[in-house]
Amino acid sequence: MAKELKELTPREENYSQWYNDLVIKAGLAESSAVRGCMVIKPYGYAIWEKMQRALDDMFKATGHQNAYFPLFIPKSFFSKEAHHVEGFAKECAVVTHYRLKNDPEGKGVIVDPDAELEEELIVRPTSETIIWNTYKNWIQSYRDLPILCNQWANVVRWEMRTRLFLRTAEFLWQEGHTAHETREEALAEARKMIGVYANFAEKWMSLPVIIGHKSDSERFAGAEDTLTIEAMMQDGKALQSGTSHFLGQNFAKAFDVQFTNREGRLEYVWATSWGVSTRLMGALIMAHSDNNGLVLPPKLAPIQVVMIPIYKGEEELHRITERLDRIATELRARGLSVKIDDRDNVRTGFKFAEYELKGVPVRLAMGPRDVANGTIELVRRDTLHKEVVAQDGLVDRVVGLMDEIQQNIYDKALKFRDGMITRVDSYDEFKRVLDEKGGFILAHWDGTPETEARIKEETKATIRCIPVNAPEEAGVDMLSGKPSSRRVIFARAY
Amino acid sequence: MAKELKELTPREENYSQWYNDLVIKAGLAESSAVRGCMVIKPYGYAIWEKMQRALDDMFKATGHQNAYFPLFIPKSFFSKEAHHVEGFAKECAVVTHYRLKNDPEGKGVIVDPDAELEEELIVRPTSETIIWNTYKNWIQSYRDLPILCNQWANVVRWEMRTRLFLRTAEFLWQEGHTAHETREEALAEARKMIGVYANFAEKWMSLPVIIGHKSDSERFAGAEDTLTIEAMMQDGKALQSGTSHFLGQNFAKAFDVQFTNREGRLEYVWATSWGVSTRLMGALIMAHSDNNGLVLPPKLAPIQVVMIPIYKGEEELHRITERLDRIATELRARGLSVKIDDRDNVRTGFKFAEYELKGVPVRLAMGPRDVANGTIELVRRDTLHKEVVAQDGLVDRVVGLMDEIQQNIYDKALKFRDGMITRVDSYDEFKRVLDEKGGFILAHWDGTPETEARIKEETKATIRCIPVNAPEEAGVDMLSGKPSSRRVIFARAY
């Protein structure tokens, strides 16, 4: 039974299937009856809630407030910003009617043809348009600025090929939308928020990321600059994990949002927007997990410590759980989330496998001999290292392990990621590295969309970003031979 | 300016307009460009977040977990439960297409006729159908039960007449959906959750409520029993504030969800569902506020204490804010949320009016004389009582005031509510009380939908509930003269 539970397709054999098995078997999410839409199951949602809480605290600490804007956007709003409409108003869910009625032929309910909307409504794929239409009424003078709003919401993009968490028709996210007096202030906000995301990825998700600018063709539709954090998955593919956009005055112009500046002149408002989504769940799963299941950083683990009594009969169980209860109480008093699993209808081996699958950072098991000896068995999920330790000092040890595991998972991911960065100077080498090793490839690029497009077409690799800290370095483009002043990062990506 | 800010339509003059003015001017919400959909502004959303946090903690303390189910529901799902389809699948947002394209005539974007969905999708008005379709795969045996899930989500019901918070096309809510082995366990769950709602209303919102059963005709579409909490607004109208439904086996039968019970026999699963929504914001506002603005119970106030320096010139400001900062630090250390408003572009009177409008429970103001005397001016929002108190002992005083104000607002609402309950024994008296006084009317009812319908048609009053603690009392129906064994509660309602 333990075997069956854990039966994940091995990572080496089929990474994509391994991922899917893991999401399903660990109880994180599943497909629903609605094409492309997922059900986020309680265990998956508990991780997402922890992400939300941490991010929300960081947003508030940087002066942002939450608000809520409508799910629907009038179709005409999308036409107001030329690039935005190209990027977002195509594959989307369109509401055309507002009533059903009983089928006169008795076949359930049908759409009432008399209840057609005058203007179709689009289920929001992102909310710049409806929000800037709202901000118009909130902003008259520089005294009304900045506006620093965030919303937690669901959005819909009608994706044709979907994968749980990574690409779904409906997903959950947060979108920050800020309004500023000056270009400089908006640029600083966009930089600040990509920094918040990077900090969250590294400190909470144990996920090293590279911060950089998107190329023109990969930029958010309607932005003047898009900052991104790019992470490396274990199969050598990149995953864009969060973006922060400097929108210039594009949406202010599209929705005619002007303010009286400090000099008494009318000016268009400067904007940013930034978001992360349930896609982060995919990044978290793919970056750390193994063939035994999830590996969760302790800060995001719904259960941080699981305790399992190993016993025969009621009397032994009673004696062991009495001890476990006492330890659990102490651990909880130190802020840890602890579960005691004393189910009697499954074997110990099954339980061990289950909590490995679910990525619980620390497992403690106690048998009758441990009671006699004052010991307990401790297993770390990240290393699977097992040891028998004294019950004395256990609580301090486990509390300390949380930081240790958090750091170890990060270090391991960082080491892997750094090993997956390759500097390349010719197109042949580029293609060879891409096929044989994958990962991030640092190469020179002439800055033209033509070269970028040709590389993408021929290799499926895209420019993930132009790192913000890329050093100046004279070179020539691999393909065109034209001059380049710094290397950019290419990769195949999710 | 202070006058203009506060200019609410007096409550006595036009209650409905007073409410709308208040929601707008206090910055809680506003209408959006999408018919019937509101924008929840940061101050309003901050109150909702406090409600969410408190409720979510209560749900988790009673063993529930959060999850997330799709926004869209296939149209055919609604036809599976006969009553449910009548109640919910009529006025709703229908997604018929999944793509827009550029208008060949150059007029922006149009719906692509080639992208019609095979089956229309309904934007969820409530999620029983999609959730029970999912539960089918989660439940095989009694060991899989109970399932105790909740989701925080947006829902859409195409209401024709909308009012901010009280009735909007899109609103935010939580919906609990539980699955049980036995009828008794499901009944107990439905009772437990209406108890959680009542506790939340009374302890957090300072809102006394009456718990009772809905009559057959007011019951949730698809339920066997609906429990409700009913609150009394200041205009004598009732507001249904939360409901908890015993769904019997209706949805299990509609979606064929059976389990192997402890005796090894297949049986349909028993269900409950329960929800509260942003409508609670409307209840909170209407129950306590006055002509000066909001009156917020401290537990739900985003700002609990506001501090205002009264000064001339930089030097005075500096001296005063130094003191205020010190007090603020102490108050924050005691867990209070404190704001110091030292804006120099608005007058003190304007600030006073603004925080009254926003319902901040305690206002502290300090001038140069207070600095000299070691005093501070303290004003309670609930009573508007003003006094000058010593700075010594202030922090304890203010911390204590939070509980005192919380309780006082509740006591006031309870006294008002109790004064609005009238026992009535004839239909003439019923109509007179309804028109002259309003409120809850305790009257005998013969239990038939015919009588209920006639009363509703003639008076616009509905049966709010059959209180769970209604004493047995022999009587006769006001209209039909038929026997009745207990009084029920009638009222006009929101």
* pLDDT surpasses 70 at B3: no
| B224 within a domain of the structure (yes/no) | yes
Angstrom distance (rounded) from CA A390 to CA A329: 17
CATH of the domain at A479: 3.30.110.30
Which chain A residue has its CA at the smallest distance from B50's CA?
Answer: A66
Quick one: B319 and B449 in the same domain? no
**Cβ neighbours of B226 (radius 10 Å):** 26
Task: Locate all alpha helices (DSSP H) within B62-104, ordered by sequence.
Answer: 75-78, 82-88
Smallest Cα–Cα separation from A137: which of A280, A258, A47? A258
Quick one: A315 and A283 in the same domain? no
How far is the alpha carbon of A149 from chain B, nearest alpha carbon, in Å?
Answer: 8
Q: Can you tell me which residue has the tokens 């229309």?
A: B120
Quick one: B232 and B259 in the same domain? yes
Q: Can you tell me which residue has the tokens 């969820």?
A: B124
The type of residue at B357 is L
- Contact: B34, A130; criterion CB under 8 Å: yes
Structure tokens belonging to residue B424: 């009535």
| A109 within a domain of the structure (yes/no) | no
| B111 within a domain of the structure (yes/no) | no
Please report which confidence band the pLDDT of residue A78 belongs to, taking 50, 70 and 90 as the band edges. Answer: confident
* pLDDT surpasses 90 at A106: no
Q: What is the mean pLDDT of residues A47-74?
A: 98
Which of B32, B90, B149 has its CB closest to that of A100?
B90
pLDDT digits (tens, 9 = 90+) for B440-491: 999 999 999 999 999 999 999 999 999 999 899 999 999 999 999 999 999 9
How far is the alpha carbon of B282 from chain A, nearest alpha carbon, in Å?
Answer: 16
Structure tokens belonging to residue B159: 């209401």
Please report which confidence band the pLDDT of residue A1 belongs to, taking 50, 70 and 90 as the band edges. Answer: very low
What percent of chain A clears pLDDT 70, i.e. is strictly above it?
99
Which chain B residue has its CA at the smallest distance from A44's CA?
Answer: B67
Q: Is A41 on the interface with B (CB under 8 A)?
A: yes
Element (H, E) at A30: strand A29-31
pLDDT digits (tens, 9 = 90+) for B337-369: 999 999 998 999 999 999 999 999 999 999 999
pLDDT digits (tens, 9 = 90+) for B124-151: 999 999 999 999 999 999 999 999 999 9
Contacts of B134 in chain A (CB under 8 A): 30, 32-33, 39
Quick one: A270 and A378 in the same domain? no
* Alpha carbon of residue A302 to chain centroid: 17
- Contact: B45, A33; criterion CB under 8 Å: no
Q: What's the pLDDT score for residue A3?
A: 46
Q: Can you tell me which residue has the tokens 């990149």?
A: A238
Q: What's the pLDDT score for residue B349?
A: 96
Structure tokens belonging to residue A464: 């993930």
Cα separation values, A105 from A102, A109, B386, Å = 8, 10, 70
Smallest Cα–Cα separation from B296: which of B238, B354, B382? B382
- Contact: A77, B33; criterion CB under 8 Å: yes
Structure tokens belonging to residue A32: 């629903």
Sequence-separated (6 or more) residues with CB below 8 Å from residue A185: A146, A270
Q: What one-character DSSP code corresponds to residue A60?
A: H
Angstrom distance (rounded) from CA B194 to CA B124: 23
Q: Coil, strand, or helix at residue A75? A: helix
Residue bearing the bigger pLDDT, A159 or A58: A58
Quick one: A193 and A339 in the same domain? no
Cβ–Cβ < 8 Å for B150, B196: no
Cβ–Cβ < 8 Å for B89, B68: no
| Geometric angle at alpha carbon A152, from B272 and A36, rounded to 5° | 70
Structure tokens belonging to residue A400: 């300390």
DSSP secondary structure letters along A95-133: EEEEEEEE-TTSSSEEE-TT-EEEEEEEEPSS-HHHHHH
Quick one: A241 and A344 in the same domain? no
Q: What's the pLDDT score for residue B6?
A: 60
Contacts of A135 in chain B (CB under 8 A): none
pLDDT digits (tens, 9 = 90+) for A176-187: 999 999 999 999
pTM summary value: 0.97
ipTM confidence score = 0.96
pLDDT digits (tens, 9 = 90+) for A416-460: 999 999 999 999 999 999 999 999 999 999 999 999 999 999 999
Cβ–Cβ < 8 Å for A273, A128: yes
Q: What one-character DSSP code corresponds to residue A299?
A: G
Structure tokens belonging to residue A385: 């290292």
pLDDT digits (tens, 9 = 90+) for B47-104: 999 999 999 999 999 999 999 999 999 999 988 887 878 787 789 999 999 999 988 8
* pLDDT surpasses 60 at B2: no
Cβ–Cβ < 8 Å for B484, B446: yes
Quick one: A148 and A216 in the same domain? yes
| Geometric angle at alpha carbon A19, from A14 and A23, rounded to 5° | 150
Cβ–Cβ < 8 Å for A148, A63: yes
CATH of the domain at B361: 3.40.50.800
Structure tokens belonging to residue B396: 């304890």
Angstrom distance (rounded) from CA B137 to CA B147: 12
Number of compact structural domains in chain A = 3
Q: What is the mean pLDDT of residues B188-199?
A: 98
Last residue of a domain, one of B373, B393, B416: B416
Q: What one-character DSSP code corresponds to residue B404?
A: H
Last residue of a domain, one of B397, B416, B435: B416
Please report which confidence band the pLDDT of residue A189 belongs to, taking 50, 70 and 90 as the band edges. Answer: very high
Cβ–Cβ < 8 Å for A271, A247: yes
Quick one: A140 and A71 in the same domain? yes
| B109 within a domain of the structure (yes/no) | no
Last residue of a domain, one of B387, B416, B445: B416
Quick one: A331 and A361 in the same domain? yes
DSSP secondary structure letters along B44-72: HHHHHHHHHHHHHHHHHHTT-EE-B--SE
Cα separation values, B460 from A78, A398, B357, Å = 43, 64, 33
- State the pairing for strand pair B38-40/B29-31: antiparallel
- Contact: A111, B94; criterion CB under 8 Å: yes
Smallest Cα–Cα separation from B212: which of B445, B380, B428? B445
Cα separation values, B100 from A89, A133, B43, Å = 6, 21, 36
Which of A39, A149, A158 has its CB closest to that of B98?
A158
The phi and psi torsions of A66 (rounded to 5 degrees) equal -90, 150
Quick one: A480 and A458 in the same domain? yes
Angstrom distance (rounded) from CA A200 to CA A210: 13
Interface size between A and B, measured as CB pairs under 8 A: 187
- Contact: B75, A133; criterion CB under 8 Å: no
- Contact: A37, B97; criterion CB under 8 Å: no
Quick one: A260 and A314 in the same domain? no
Q: How many CA atoms lie within 13 A of A318 on its CB side?
A: 3
The domain of B476 spans: 421-491
| B247 within a domain of the structure (yes/no) | yes
| A107 within a domain of the structure (yes/no) | no
Quick one: B311 and B456 in the same domain? no
Q: What's the pLDDT score for residue A4?
A: 54
Smallest Cα–Cα separation from B416: which of B212, B169, B208, B180? B208
Angstrom distance (rounded) from CA B307 to CA B302: 14
Residue bearing the bigger pLDDT, A107 or B313: B313
| A376 within a domain of the structure (yes/no) | yes
Q: What one-character DSSP code corresponds to residue A10?
A: P
Q: What one-character DSSP code corresponds to residue B476?
A: E
Q: List, as ranges, residues 139-158 from B with C-beta within 8 Å of A.
A: 143, 149, 153-154, 156, 158
Looking at chain B, the number of H-run helices and the number of E-run strands are: 15, 26
Angstrom distance (rounded) from CA A401 to CA A362: 8
Q: What's the pLDDT score for residue A5?
A: 58
Cβ–Cβ < 8 Å for A364, A376: yes
| B112 within a domain of the structure (yes/no) | no
Q: How many CA atoms lie within 13 A of A321 on its CB side?
A: 14
Q: Can you tell me which residue has the tokens 């959006």?
A: B32
* pLDDT surpasses 80 at B381: yes
Which chain B residue has its CA at the smallest distance from A80's CA?
Answer: B108
Q: Can you tell me which residue has the tokens 């009856």?
A: A33
Q: What is the mean pLDDT of residues B189-196?
A: 98
Q: List, as ranges, residues 164-223 from A with C-beta within 8 Å of B.
A: 170, 172
The phi and psi torsions of B215 (rounded to 5 degrees) equal -75, 165
Cβ–Cβ < 8 Å for A430, A443: yes
Smallest Cα–Cα separation from B222: which of B183, B259, B273, B172? B273
Cα separation values, B378 from A16, B395, B418, Å = 64, 12, 31
DSSP secondary structure letters along A160-209: SS-BTTTB-SEEEEEEEEEEESSHHHHHHHHHHHHHHHHHHHHHTS----
Cα separation values, B92 from A115, B75, B125, B416, Å = 10, 11, 7, 37
CATH of the domain at A131: 3.30.930.10
Q: What's the pLDDT score for residue A252?
A: 98
Q: Is A65 on the interface with B (CB under 8 A)?
A: yes
Cβ–Cβ < 8 Å for A182, A246: no
Please report which confidence band the pLDDT of residue A160 belongs to, taking 50, 70 and 90 as the band edges. Answer: confident
Mean pLDDT of chain B, nearest integer:
96
B485 φ/ψ sector (left φ>0, alpha ψ -120 to 50, else beta): alpha
Q: List, as ranges, residues 325-364 from B with C-beta within 8 Å of A.
A: 345
* pLDDT surpasses 80 at B293: yes
pLDDT digits (tens, 9 = 90+) for A205-230: 999 999 999 999 999 999 999 999 99
